[in-house]
Amino acid sequence: MITRTAAQLASLVGAELDGDPTLVLTGVAGLEQAQPGQVSFFGNKKYKQALEATRASLVLVPADQPRGGHAATFLRVPTPHLAFARIAQQFHPAPTWPAGVSERAFVDPGAQVDASATVMAGATVQRGATVGARAVLHPGVFVGEGASVGPDSVLKSNVSLLERCQVGARCLLHSGVVVGADGFGFALDLAVPEHVKIPQTGVVRVEDDVEIGANSCIDRATTGETVIGRGTKIDNLVQVGHNCVVGPFSILCAQVGLSGTTELGMGVMMGGQSGSAGHLKIGDLAKVGAQSGVMSDVAPNATVIGSPVLDHRDTLRSWALFARLPELHQQVRELQRRLDALEKKP
């Protein structure tokens, strides 16, 4: 069992310790589920009652949180959620695997696999591919010709990294991810008629420290590159079309869809089920609300929602008006009736 003292955790996250520094902690949990000996966090006023009732022995709280009559030890930090993430890593370190290539894996003689890498049973590494130091390929992973996996990256079961595509260092690709499938490109020939496939000759480049969720797809470029910028985090079931450029440290939540040649700046956040038309730009640090449809460029630092998107304040006002439409419709009909009656008078 991994244990840490309250003093050790306070030092780890730079917290002000309010309570017993010798308190021994054995794990983490939510406020409602936590038991004695566990760490939890409070960062949202909606959970005030849960904080008052929690059995956690140590709670991460904002710096100005009053103690009241709470018996738990408090660690006061600027951002409890971030501090909780750091502490949770102490109790749940990343798993490790023994280096080497399984006898039941297939590695082409023309591939280069670092001696410290792990290639598990059922994985395939084709000719000209490279697998970097300490990288891990789980069962069913396919690394195509000329593709590359950077140092310390982990490809979970049934990930497909197709020919000539690149994954940087310290990346995590969850099960079922496909990097480098053909972009969706066709030209209509009405004379036949048929949709003529445009060869997708480009690649995908995934930069360092990227995480891609299960069953997400990053299409290769028609020509050139599709790029996922450094530090970006992509949720499950996300589609990134051909020739998109996703800027560094962006967040794409579940079921986001980016049409081809969409360009995202740095730190863009897109809520679940939002999507973009192609050939547009979403500026640095912009936020797109869930289920929103981006049909034109979005300015840097903007917060937009709706379909098509508008500034979030304008959309909220529109939604408030929409809720009153039946009442307003009745009022308009009454005014029309009265106007008609006035016009009929001599």
Write the pLDDT tens digit of every residue in 184-243. Answer: 999 999 999 999 999 999 999 999 999 999 999 999 999 999 999 999 999 999 999 999
Q: Which candidate in 70, 242, 312, 329 is catalytic?
A: 242
Residue 188: strand pairing partners = 195
User: pLDDT-derived band of residue 126, with 50, 70 and 90 as boundaries?
Assistant: very high
Average per-residue pLDDT for the chain = 96
Instruction: Give φ, ψ of 180 to 5 degrees.
Output: 105, 15
Please name the CATH architecture into which domain 101-313 falls. 3 Solenoid (2.160)
Residue ranges per structural domain of the chain: 4-91, 101-313, 314-344
The fold adopted by the segment(s) 4-91 is: 3.40.1390
Write out pLDDT tens, residues 160-172.
Answer: 999 999 999 999 9
- The answer to whether 311 and 304 are in contact (CB under 8 A) is yes
**b/e for 27-43, b at 16 or more Cβ within 10 A?**
bbbebeebeebbbbbbb
- Output the pLDDT for position 131: 98
Q: How far is the C-alpha of 23 from the C-alpha of 75, rounded, in Å?
A: 12
Residue 346 burial (CB count, 10 A): 2
Q: How far is CA 102 from CA 123, 136, 161, 264, in A?
A: 9, 12, 19, 40
pTM of the model: 0.91
pLDDT of residue 69: 83
Is position 312 annotated as part of the catalytic site?
no
What lies within 8 Å, CB to CB, of 212 at 6+ separation is: 171, 172, 173, 174, 177, 179, 206, 218, 228, 234, 238
